[in-house]
Amino acid sequence: MTYELIEWVYAVKAGGEAGAAFLGSQGDIWDAQKDMLADTSGAVFALIVYALFGRAPKA
């Protein structure tokens, strides 16, 4: 997620055509935000699965 934030900040700071060209190279101006959503959703899902099934049985 850190890389996506750096990518997003770079594109905003570059601004205008340079920022659009940087993100446009991936074909989607919302790429960084979608990737961060996917990262966060996956982490939350993994935590839920671990909470439900990952604990060792008590002795």
Q: For residue 30, is it within any domain? A: yes
Check pLDDT > 70 for residue 59: no
Please give the tally of structural domains in the chain: 1
Distance between CA atoms of 57 and 30, rounded to whole angstroms? 43
Which residues neighbour 37 within 8 Å (Cβ) at sequence distance 6 or greater? none
Check pLDDT > 80 for residue 1: no
Each residue's pLDDT tens digit, 41-54: 999 999 999 999 98
Q: For residue 58, is it within any domain? A: no
Q: For residue 47, is it within any domain? A: yes
pLDDT of residue 24: 63
Q: For residue 38, is it within any domain? A: yes
Range of the domain at 13: 2-53
